[in-house]
Amino acid sequence: MTIETYTRAQMARFAIEEGAGYGGVNNMLAVVHVLRNRVFAGWGDWLEVVTRAGDKRANVDPLPRPDLRTNNVRVLLNRIDEIYTRADTNDLTGGALFYCEPNRPLGEWFKQEILLRPEDHPRVAHVGPVWFYK
């Protein structure tokens, strides 16, 4: 296994755990796009961004464990490579760096740093119940 393969697997794991609870495959893909946007914004390399992704989680309550046998998970796994290699240029999030499901409990840091600073972090997209911010 290479570090790139490991990194892609970690991207998929995080996106499945984060996005599957919000709905369909687009929510999982949007989480991967946020990770990619963070890499592009200079937050670190792929592995650093994926490893620290949970530190910038907006919602503080855990989501239920996803069913890995769904077709949505298979679609995500088939698309991870094209997002990682930048072949997928269709960013569902409008370049977002943060996301939240506003009807679930939010962490204080997210409220203070993102929601209360709309001039710095405008809302740029909406996928299912999830809102995305720059």
Q: What is the pLDDT of residues 17-65, one digit of tens each?
A: 988 888 789 999 999 999 999 999 999 999 999 999 989 999 988 777 7
| In contact, 17 and 66? CB cutoff 8 Å | yes
- pLDDT average, residue stretch 103-117: 95
Which backbone phi and psi does 65 adopt, to 5 degrees? Answer: -65, 130
Q: Summarize pLDDT for 69-84 with one digit per residue, the tens.
A: 888 899 999 899 888 8
User: Whole-model pTM?
Assistant: 0.91
DSSP helix/strand/coil, 104:
coil
CA distance 74 to 15: 12
Model pLDDT, residue 30: 95
CA distance 85 to 28: 17
Count CB atoms within 10 A of the CB of residue 106.
18
* Higher-pLDDT residue of 68, 40: 40
What is the tally of structural domains in the chain?
1
Tokens coding 44: 């670190």
Residue numbers of the domain that contains 54: 3-133
